[in-house]
Structures are given as structure tokens and as C-alpha cells.
């Protein structure tokens, strides 16, 4: 069964600290993996996308890694800001019309 | 340019009523997706449109749910005889084929 799991379910950190969010998947075949940021009451916004051959992808203070062998991905946030408070969703695509969404990690950044 | 828009932003209805949710995709995007997000849950795929091809309806949870896409642009998701378990945020996304999806702000549906 195609599944995407994310951990932790929720996370609270202080402003300026770093954090790492985890994503494990069993989706097969694998096409690509995306990380989305979803602010409360808004639609998800793409942060990074990685294909099978890519190990890391950065977007500003966000860095995603992918280990296709172990089927794991992580999203590292550096020097967190209050505006980083959101849900972060890992999405694995088996094909260009077949997407499996993880449940998300709820991040709260406190001053 | 304009992003994906959805209307209404909020909809409160009584159990048993029909509702229509609208999605205006980004101009030129041939792919359109509908998702449902229940409180604290991940996104659940509902239906996918690509150009003039027959839609992929494999995610629709029951025959009370249907969707249309007129003229390859605007899409309407219809829920008939709404139930309380239909309460959720309904998200629409559009994209070029096999490209990144851009999401709308969603419609929050509450069935009383």
C-alpha cells in the first residue's frame, strides 16, 4: 500500500533555532518527492521537488534531502523565523497524476 | 499573475442539502485536481482532470460526489445530500502536465 509517514506530528522550537522534519514513504514506483508549506487557512505552497537522482535541494533556509534507497526524506529549516510556523507536508508521486500526501508536521516557532 | 481561486471560502450547510464548490485554475494549466483535507489529516485525492481526457474519478468517496470542468477551465465540485462527515476543507490545484501543482486557498465546508 502506498503510504507517506511524517514525524514528528508536531514540533515547537524557539525562533532562530534549526529543526529537521522527517518523511518516510512506501510509494512505488517513485517519480518525485515534494515538500509543501501550508499556512493556516491557506493552500499548500511548494518548497522543493526532488527526483530519484537528486540527494539534496535547497530553497533559501529550507534544505531537503532524499535517500531513495531507504525511502526517506528530511526537510531542514535553518535559523527559524516566526513566519515558518505552518504545516509541512511531504508528497510522493508515483506518476504525474498519482500523488500520495503525508499527514504533515505542524511546526510552531515561538519568540 | 493570478493564482488558483476558489469560492466560496466558507460554506455552512444543513445535512441533506446539496453544495457546489468552484475552482478557477491558473490560465493555461490543463491539469486540475480536487483534494479534501479533514481536520488534522493529510490531503485526500478526489478527482483529476487533464485536458479533454476522461477524468480520473478514483478518489471520489461516494456517488454523492461529482465534478465537472467546463471548457477546460473552471471546475465545479458538487456534493449531493451532504453528510456531517463531508465537513472538511476542499482544495483545488492546477498545473501543466506532470509539473508542480499550485493550490488554491480552499473552501471550508461545514455540514450541520
* Tens-binned pLDDT, residue by residue, of chain A (111 aa): 788 999 999 999 999 999 999 999 998 888 889 999 999 878 888 899 898 889 999 999 999 999 999 999 999 999 999 999 999 999 998 876 678 889 999 999 999
> Which range among A20-24, A94-98, B64-68, B94-98 shows the weakest confidence by mean pLDDT?
A94-98
Q: Cβ-count burial of B16 within 10 angstroms (0-12 exposed, 13-18 middle, 19+ buried)?
A: exposed
> Which range among A11-25, B48-62, B69-83 shows the weakest confidence by mean pLDDT?
B48-62
Query: What residue in B sits closest to A43 (Cα-Cα)?
Result: B105
Instruction: Report yes or no: A49 at the B interface, CB cutoff 8 Å.
Output: yes
Query: What residue in A sits closest to B4 (Cα-Cα)?
Result: A43
**Is residue B34 predicted with pLDDT exceeding 90?**
yes
The reply to whether residue A41 touches residue B105, judged by beta carbons under 8 angstroms, is yes
Cβ atoms < 10 Å from Cβ of A105: 21
pLDDT band (50, 70, 90) for residue B71: confident
The reply to whether residue B105 touches residue A99, judged by beta carbons under 8 angstroms, is no
Number of CB pairs, chain A paired with chain B, less than 8 A apart: 42
Which positions in chain B touch A86 (Cβ < 8 Å)?
A: none
> Which range among A95-104, B35-44, B64-73, B97-106 shows the weakest confidence by mean pLDDT?
A95-104
Instruction: Report yes or no: A45 at the B interface, CB cutoff 8 Å.
Output: yes
Query: What residue in A sits closest to B91 (Cα-Cα)?
Result: A43
Instruction: Compute the distance between CA of residue B66 and CA of residue B51 in angstroms, rounded to an integer.
Output: 18
Q: What is the three-state SS of A30-53?
A: CCEEEEEEECCCCCCEEEEEEECC
Of residues B63 and B43, more confidently modeled: B63
The reply to whether residue B103 touches residue A41, judged by beta carbons under 8 angstroms, is no
**Is residue B18 predicted with pLDDT exceeding 70?**
yes
Say what the pLDDT of residue A98 is: 74
Say what the pLDDT of residue A52 is: 84
Closest to A2 measured CA to CA, from A28, A31, A23: A28
Say what the pLDDT of residue A14 is: 97
Which positions in chain A touch B44 (Cβ < 8 Å)?
A: 101
Instruction: Report yes or no: A77 at the B interface, CB cutoff 8 Å.
Output: no
Say what the pLDDT of residue B96 is: 86
Say what the pLDDT of residue A48 is: 92
Instruction: Report yes or no: A9 at the B interface, CB cutoff 8 Å.
Output: no
Say what the pLDDT of residue B1 is: 52
Say what the pLDDT of residue A97 is: 64
Query: What residue in B sits closest to A44 (Cα-Cα)?
Result: B103
Amino acid at each position: 500500500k502506498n503510504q507517506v509517514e511524517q514525524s514528528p506530528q508536531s514540533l515547537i522550537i524557539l525562533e532562530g533555532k534549526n529543526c529537521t522534519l522527517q518523511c518516510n514513504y512506501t510509494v512505488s514506483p517513485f517519480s518525485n518527492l515534494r515538500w509543501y508549506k501550508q499556512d493556516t487557512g491557506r493552500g499548500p505552497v511548494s518548497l522543493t521537488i526532488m527526483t530519484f537522482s537528486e540527494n539534496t535541494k535547497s530553497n533559501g533556509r529550507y534544505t531537503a534531502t532524499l535517500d531513495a534507497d531507504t525511502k526517506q526524506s528530511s526537510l531542514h529549516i535553518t535559523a527559524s523565523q516566526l513566519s515558518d510556523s505552518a504545516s509541512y507536508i511531504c508528497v510522493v508521486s508515483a506518476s504525474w497524476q498519482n500523488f500520495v500526501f503525508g499527514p504533515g508536521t505542524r511546526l510552531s516557532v515561538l519568540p | 499573475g493570478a493564482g488558483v481561486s476558489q469560492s466560496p471560502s466558507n460554506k455552512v450547510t444543513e445535512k441533506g442539502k446539496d453544495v457546489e464548490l468552484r475552482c478557477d485554475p491558473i490560465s493555461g494549466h490543463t491539469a486540475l485536481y480536487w483534494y479534501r483535507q479533514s481536520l488534522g489529516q493529510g490531503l485526500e485525492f478526489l478527482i483529476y482532470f487533464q485536458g479533454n481526457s476522461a477524468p480520473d474519478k478514483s478518489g471520489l468517496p461516494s456517488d454523492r460526489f461529482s465534478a465537472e470542468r467546463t471548457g477546460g477551465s473552471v471546475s465545479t465540485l458538487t456534493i449531493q445530500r451532504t453528510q456531517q462527515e463531508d465537513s472538511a476543507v476542499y482544495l483545488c490545484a492546477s498545473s501543466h502536465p506532470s509539473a508542480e501543482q499550485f493550490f488554491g486557498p480552499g473552501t471550508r465546508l461545514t455540514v450541520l
